[in-house]
Amino acid sequence: MQDENFDPIESIRQHLRYASRIVLFTGAGISTESGIPDFRSPGGIWSRMKPIDFSDFMRSEESRRESWRRKFASDPVMRAAKPNRGHLACTSLLASGRATSIITQNIDGLHQRAGVPEAQVIEVHGNATYAHCLSCGTRYELDAIKEIFERDGNAPRCRWCDGLVKTATISFGQAMPVEAMRRAEKAALGCDCMIVLGSSLVVYPAAGLPVLAKRNGAALIIINREPTALDDIADLVVNAGIGDTFGAAVETL
Ligand code: NAD
List, for residues 97-110, the tens digit of each pLDDT value.
999 999 999 999 99
* pLDDT at residue number 44: 65
To test the pocket of ligand 1, the residue of 36, 39, 84, 125 to mutate (highest count of ligand atoms within 8 Å of its CB) is 39
**In the chain, how many domains are there?**
2
242 CB under 6 A from ligand 1? Answer: yes
Q: How far is CA 96 from CA 16, 19, 71, 202, in A?
A: 12, 12, 36, 31
Q: Are residues 58 and 94 both part of a single domain?
A: no
Q: What is the DSSP letter of 122?
A: E
44 CB under 6 A from ligand 1? Answer: yes
pLDDT by residue (tens digit) across 154-182? 999 999 999 999 999 999 999 999 999 99
CATH number where 223 lies: 3.40.50.1220
* pLDDT at residue number 27: 98
* pLDDT at residue number 47: 64
CATH number where 73 lies: 3.30.1600.10
41 CB under 6 A from ligand 1? Answer: yes
pLDDT band at 39 (very low <50, low <70, confident <90, very high): confident
Dist CA 154 CA 83 (whole Å): 33
pLDDT band at 45 (very low <50, low <70, confident <90, very high): low
29 CB under 6 A from ligand 1? Answer: yes
* Burial label, 244 (beta-carbon count in 10 A; 0-12, 13-18, 19+): middle
31 CB under 6 A from ligand 1? Answer: yes
pLDDT band at 232 (very low <50, low <70, confident <90, very high): very high
Ligand 1, atom 15: nearest CA belongs to which residue? 29
Q: What angle, rounded to 10 degrees, do the helices at 142-152 and 61-80 form?
A: 130
- Is 125 a known active-site residue? yes
- Closest C-alpha to 192, from 231, 227, 221: 221
Domain span including residue 193: 1-35+82-125+176-253
Catalytic one of 87, 111, 125, 132 = 125
Dist CA 79 CA 93 (whole Å): 25
The pLDDT of 107-131, averaged and rounded, is: 97
pLDDT by residue (tens digit) across 63-92? 999 999 999 999 999 999 999 999 999 999
